[in-house]
Structure 1
Amino acid sequence: MSAQPVNPNVPPDHVTVEIDGQSLVVPKGSMIIQAADKAGIPIPRFCYHEKLPIAANCRMCLVDVEKSPKPAPACATPVMDGMKVATRSEKALKFQRSVMEFLLINHPLDCPICDQGGECELQDVSLGYGRSVSRFNERKRVVPDEDIGPLVATEMTRCIQCTRCVRFTADVAGTYELGGMYRGENLQIGTYDGKPLTTEISGNVIDVCPVGALTNKVFQFRARPWELSARESLGYHDAMGSNLFLHVRRGEVLRTVPRDNELVNECWLSDRDRYSHQGLYSEDRAVKPLKKVNGEWVEVSWAEGLSAAAQILKAQSGDNLGVLVHPATSNEEGELLARLASGLGTGNLDHRIFNRDFSDAAVAEPFAVSLAEIEQADVVVIVGSNVRHELPLLHARLRKAQVANGTKIHAVNPVDFDFTFKLAGKQVVAPSQIASALSDAALRDAVKGASRAVVIVGGLVENHPQAASLRAAVRDFAGATGAAVCRIPQGANAVGLVAQGVLPTARDAGAMLAQPRSAYVIYGIEPGLDFADAPAARAALHGAQVVAFSQFACASTRDVADVILPIGALPEIEATLTNLDGRVQKAKAGGKLPVEAREGWRVLRALGGELALAGFEFTDLTGLRAGMQARSVTPSASAQPAVAGEGLEVAATAAIYRTDAVVRRAAALQSHPLNLAPAVVMSPDAAAQLQVAEGQMVKVGTSAGKATLPVVLDKRVAAGTVWIESGHGATAPLGAGRVTVVAA
């Protein structure tokens, strides 16, 4: 065999192809459409999506390949060395126009009333490749619609069977909830069983749908795309910090869509981030400063509200004052809160309001392995996390890692949570047994051999009453196996607030509530539901003077506060957040601040001026940012809380759509099937021992408080354990130690 000439300009594993006369060097195995996209050569398509498996159903991307007697689908035809492709030749255009004509045969003529009008791929492509008159005179088919839940609206007569939504639910979400039914002209896309979509990332089917068959039910009929302005913003309901656009009309946020960032959320968005904007317009939104006068709430001017707040803080400064901050608070607001606490002489400042154990002085820290690098891990161990609800898009990345790279995933949890990837191994144990489970020789051996191993530690560990010992067990496991530790920050900006020094030099959040102060500042907190120990918080705040900076004048805030100063939520302000990778990301103001509410940094600046404190002399956000600097604060450790020795252990997780005040007010999310009613969930064996039955009301008591809840039986719960979701008023009195259960 003679030696073949080698082109020195072509890298190994690459080939040379020609598309529309343009010579390209592309990787072997690439499809024609991928090579064309890389070169900026447009090829029409409907079924092809770069993040989904290739289906080649729509045939809109047919191209003319030299020496090929038939048209070739560009999305499913691999490039070959020396291949010549024409995408705009007379033959290619004939292929594409013919396919366009077939696709429009049954499509309804309802563009004027379609929500997708103005941003519809079918409209765009038909403008370039469609005929002005249809030759099809027969009756168009009609497809009945399914109700697939409160988030996604259906108009399946418009469907062109591209199967993007089917492939998304199967390959990205992993729930296999949509599929094709019947054959030929009768083919329909649906759920078959008529049940609503239950995946936590279902809204992405709206983005991948190239027509108006799947649209945003919350946004439906509210505005046209050309009426909207796009504002860059961030997801603030978990620590991932998903990049997104707020679509705004006249100051009202009407829709949220993903903004591509391969290093964070790729092109996806969780439903929690997509639909939470509904909560901004709740009836109990704080819109004017409020002051309690003789036990009654009175609307006051900003001058009077700030004066009342300043009087409380002047009279109760120093160690008498506690400052409690929500961990989704922006870096700029965190900086000013640190300055405020310093100026008032208090070291009682903390954002770790979900924590129960401060004995190891643990703080949030960036992931040891970035989100993008986790996909390349050989082995991942999930410890104490329902990661599918805690970080929906990290869960999607883990599924992608397993499917694409064969990543082996193990889980150590008190509940056998539903993941959409297969587990290489799992241990379902009571929370107190997580440490011993991590000592298991088989698990350690499975991780030791990996070149890239990652341990993901979730909220079940981070917010447990014995979190310090569990974190120590994780560190020991990582040291023995060489795994990198990724602790999920408990709050959207927990990492950023650590950097800004929103940490105690005296009492931590737990100590501030266990040893009540005379006055408190609570920032962005809904006191009835946002504290790990709600009964202790209520008792401490009731006996003190409280200045509340809040987005909502809810019942629990009115109950404990003396002054309420209304502030904007993240979609309404310009701010920065630091995500779990340690990436500082900017959000621009989108929605209009309601009535007299103001950006938090403006209110803090005005209050600092009222108190004549140093560090509040700036006049704008640029001036504030110019003076910001990282603070290194090492909080002191406190005693580890005791856990009562009797009863069943509590595994407490945050309910997916009850994580913060804004999400709790988003009506569509509250009617989603994943938003379960508050209950005490236990195994059938535990119920038999306690002599209680499914649906029976029981009295549940912990060292923190008592509640009356229905029983739900679930064999996934570990022996000796009950599973409770936080974020509900009914479960707020309960802690996370041990619980006694008796019939009501």
Structure 2
Amino acid sequence: MLTMATIHVDGKEYEVNGADNLLEACLSLGLDIPYFCWHPALGSVGACRQCAVKQYQNAEDTRGRLVMSCMTPATEGTFISIDDEEAKQFRESVVEWLMTNHPHDCPVCEEGGNCHLQDMTVMTGHSFRRYRFTKRTHRNQDLGPFISHEMNRCIACYRCVRYYKDYADGTDLGVYGAHDNVYFGRPEDGTLESEFSGNLVEICPTGVFTDKTHSERYNRKWDMQFAPSICQQCSIGCNTSPGERYGELRRIENRYNGTVNHYFLCDRGRFGYGYVNLKDRPRQPVQRRGDDLITLNAEQAMQGAADILRQSKKVIGIGSPRASVESNFALRELGKLLHRDCTFRAGTSATGTESAA
């Protein structure tokens, strides 16, 4: 049962979900609070200290104290201020500290213009860098054919390792080092083993992990057209947002669906789109007549297939775990229509085991 709570933000009263923390509650109201380490699928750890707000004991309290909104529950009668000057200065100083070793390479970063760090920096009002000394640098790793690694852009929010270990159950990505020399990567170069490693691209709020398949035919995100779609790599039907440029598929991103895939995609769904752009991909139905291949229109192809099926005594229909549930169901119904004695066998792409129905 949903329990509502009344909170007061900068003198205004709001009704929010009592199970949320203050950051979630304010974001649900359209109130801007900068954040990095919090993610709706991963929860709160209070690592980045970016979401600080001023909390008061009651309406008469004028002193208050700084709290991390992601770690503070939205309980009944909570009084907070986002616009308090001390809270604003604290949030700006956190961004300035994070930027101390950041390379500021936005013009060449794949995430430029679509970067959470950029958005939060603008939100805090930080615009001037005072640090003028040598920056810390890291060696980047080769993480395989799908993900690029640029460790110098890291702000140590811990999102990547929290997702990879706690959510995706991976074991070959971790955090190493201590103090101002923290490193997020593998023990050594090599392809990430998790089948869900591609989500690091969207989990990371900066440009540490980027889509290598998109980089091969790169363009800025605002130059692409995105549309809601369904992944065709298996029968689950994960919701996706494919992006195209000049009629060429350049990138696939997750589209949230709370009952199917939530915030994430598997690597096959995210990176397995290369065949779409192949120039020699069959785009029209063809029929072999002797040594020749004859191009047919849709009506000719359907009529020809129907004639062949009518004349056949036995028919084998080959479905695919990459096809949709509806497509495989239609194939089975066609088999039943052609032959009353129909045996349906299904094997999974993961195990290869077979079952009859």
TM-score of Structure 1 vs Structure 2, range by shorter chain: 0.7 to 0.9
Q: CA offsets, 1:555-607, max 9 Å, x none? A: xxxxxxxxxxxxxxxxxxxxxxxxxxxxxxxxxxxxxxxxxxxxxxxxxxxxx
1:240 equivalent in alignment to 2:230: no
Q: Contact (CA 8 Å) 2:54, 2:82: kept in 1 or not?
A: yes
Aligned to 2:272: 276
2: CA distance, partners of 1:321 / 1:143: 67
1:325 to 1:491, Cα distance in 2 relative to 1, 3 A: farther
Shift of the 132–30 alpha-carbon distance from structure 1 to 2, 3 Å rule, reads closer
**What is the count of residue pairs matched by the alignment?**
347
The one-character-per-residue Cα deviations of 1:653-689 (angstroms, maximum 9, x if unpaired) are 63x5xxxxxxxxxxxxxxxxxxxxxxxxxxxxxxxxx
Give matches, 1:250-269, under 5 Å.
250-269=246-265
Q: 1:89 aligns to what?
A: 84
Distance 1:312-1:247 versus aligned 2 partners, 3 A rule: closer
For 1:36, the aligned partner's letter is C
Task: Give the Cα separation in 1 of the matches to 2:301 and 2:14.
Answer: 70
Q: For residues 309 and 263 of structure 2, what CA distance do their matches in structure 1 show? A: 47
Q: What aligned pairs does 1:340-739 form with structure 2 within 5 A after superposition?
A: 492-495=323-326, 497-498=328-329, 501-507=333-339, 636=341, 654=349
Among candidates 34, 40, 50, match of residue 44 of structure 1 = 34
Q: Tell me the secondary structure at the aligned position of residue 37 of structure 1.
A: helix
Distance 2:199 2:156 in 1: 17
1:30 aligned onto 2:20: yes
Aligned mates of 2:354, 2:16 — CA distance in 1: 56
Structure 1 residue 42: Cα displacement:
1.5
Matched, 1:16 2:11: no
Alignment of 1:212-227 (within 5 A): 212-220=207-215, 222-227=218-223
TM-aligned CA distance change 1:107 to 1:294, over 3 Å: same
Q: Deviations over 1:278-330 (max 9, x none)?
A: 122346421455454542x44x5546x9658856855x5634376665546xx
Q: Identical aligned pairs, as a percentage?
A: 29
Paired residue for 1:74?
69
User: How far 1:12 moved relative to its partner?
Assistant: 8.6
Shift in alpha-carbon separation, 1:110–1:326, aligned structure 2, 3 A: farther
Partner of 2:144: 149
Q: Deviations over 1:101-150 (max 9, x none)?
A: 11111111211111001110111121232433211111111111111222
1:81 to 1:275, Cα distance in 2 relative to 1, 3 A: same
Partner-residue secondary structure (3-state), 2:272:
helix
5+ residue gaps, structure 2: 58-62
From 225, 228, 236, the counterpart of 1:229:
225
State whether residues 9 and 82 of structure 2, in contact with CA within 8 Å, keep that contact through their aligned partners in structure 1: yes
Note the aligned Cα RMSD (angstroms): 3.1
- SS of the residue corresponding to residue 140 of structure 1 reads coil
Runs of 5+ in structure 1 lacking a partner?
A: 1-10, 329-489, 508-634, 642-651, 657-724, 727-734, 738-744
Counterpart contact for 2:148–2:211, Cα < 8 Å: yes
Between 1 and 2, higher relative CO (CA 8 Å, sep ≥ 6) is seen in 1
The one-letter amino acid paired with 1:218 is: T
Q: Distance in 2 between matches of 1:85 and 1:312?
A: 69
Task: Give the CA deviation at 1:194.
Answer: 3.4
Q: Which residue of 2 aligns with 1:61?
A: 51
Report the equivalent of 1:138: 133
Distance 2:227 2:17 in 1: 36
Q: Distance in 1 between matches of 2:322 and 2:305?
A: 29
Mark the CA change 1:84 to 1:637 in structure 2 (over 3 Å): closer, same or farther: same
TM-score relative to the length of structure 1: 0.43
Q: Distance in 1 between matches of 2:2 and 2:232?
A: 44
Give distance in 2, aligned partners of 1:323 and 1:491: 21
Secondary structure of 1:71's partner?
strand
Q: Counterparts of 1:491 and 1:151 in 2: how far apart (Å)?
A: 20
After superposition, residues 193-342 of structure 1 pair within 5 angstroms as: 193-220=188-215, 222-282=218-278, 284-287=280-283, 290-295=286-291, 297-298=292-293, 300=294, 302=296, 310=303, 314=307, 316=308, 318-320=310-312, 327=319
Aligned partners of 1:230 and 1:245 also within 8 Å: yes
